[in-house]
Amino acid sequence: MFLATLVVKLETPEEKQTISELYMELRFLCHRYAMKVTQNTTMAEDAVHNAFESIIKNKKTFFALDKEQQKSYIFIAVKRKAIDLMRGKDESEKSYLDDVPEIADNFDIYDVVENEESYQNLVNHIKTLPDIYRDIFQEKYLRKENRTNKEIAKELGISEKAVSKRIIRAKTMLLEKMGKGVIYEQPTA
C-alpha cells in the first residue's frame, strides 16, 4: 500500500477545546460535587477523571447537546462515577436498594402537588432520595426530552430491564415519601 503524503491536523480544534475547556472551567466545581458523595479528595479526583473519560467515549452524544445540557451531562457523569466508586466500597447499600418493593408503575402525583408549597416538598423529597435513584431520575429526565430506557441502559452499561426497575423503584420511594404509599424504613445495621 502506498500512502499519499498529506496534511493532517492534529484534532478537530472545536471538539478538543470544548471538552478540555469545559474541564478547565468546571473542574473545581466537579470536584466539590464529587466530594459531596465520596467525602474523599482522591476518590473525588478519580470520579472527575472517570467522568471525563466517559464523556470522551460518548462525545458524539455529548456534542449533540446544547451548552447547558452539556454542563448537566458533566455533573451527572461526575456524580455517577462518584457513586460507582463508593458502591464498590460499600456493599450494604446495594442490598438495601434491592429490598425496595415495586409498586405498579402508575405514578400519579396529580392530586398531591396542588400549589407552590407542595411542589417544593416534591423537589425536597427528590433531593433526599438515595443517590442511585436520583441518578436514574437525572439520566431519564435531565438530559433531553423523551430519553429512552434503551439509551440510558447503553450508556450506563446495564440492561434495559435494570433501568426500568430502578425508575419504578425510584417513583415508588417518592410516592411513599409523599404519603401515597406505605412508609418504607431503611433497615438498621
Partner 1 sequence: MNNQLRNEVSETILRRAIIDAFNQDMAEIESEPAEPYTFSEAHNARMRALFRREARREAMSKFYDKAKRAAIIVMLTISTLFGTLLTDANFRATVRDALITRYEQFTLFRFIGENYEVGDSDWLPSFIPYGFELIETVEFHIGRLIVWEHPNGNYIQFEYFSAEGAIVGVDNEYTEMSFIKLDGIEYFVITPLAGSEHSFQVLWLMNGYVFTLISSLDSEILLEIAISVAPIP
The contact set with partner 1 (CB under 8 A) reads: 1-12, 15-16, 19-20, 23, 27-29, 31-33, 36, 41-42, 45, 48-49, 52-53, 56, 72, 75, 106-110, 113, 119, 122-124, 126-127, 134, 137-138, 141-142, 171, 174
The smaller minimum CB distance to partner 1, of residues 4 and 183, is found at 4
In 3D space, the residue among 69, 71, 75 whose CA is nearest the CA of residue 33 turns out to be 75
Give the DSSP H/E element, type plus range, for residue 55: helix 41-57
The least distance separating partner 1 from the CB of residue 187, rounded to whole angstroms, comes to 26
The least distance separating partner 1 from the CB of residue 85, rounded to whole angstroms, comes to 14
CA neighbours closer than 13 Å in the CB half-sphere of residue 128: 13
What per-residue string of b and e applies to 38-74 under the rule 16 or more CB within 10 Å gives b?
A: bebeebbbbbbebbbebbeeeeeebeeeeeeebeebb
What whole-number distance in Å separates Cα of residue 178 and Cα of residue 7? Answer: 62
In 3D space, the residue among 105, 114, 126, 122 whose CA is nearest the CA of residue 169 turns out to be 105
The least distance separating partner 1 from the CB of residue 122, rounded to whole angstroms, comes to 5
Pair 136, 170: CB distance under 8 Å: yes
The least distance separating partner 1 from the CB of residue 108, rounded to whole angstroms, comes to 5
The smaller minimum CB distance to partner 1, of residues 2 and 179, is found at 2
The smaller minimum CB distance to partner 1, of residues 100 and 174, is found at 174
The least distance separating partner 1 from the CB of residue 189, rounded to whole angstroms, comes to 27
The smaller minimum CB distance to partner 1, of residues 108 and 185, is found at 108
The smaller minimum CB distance to partner 1, of residues 92 and 115, is found at 115
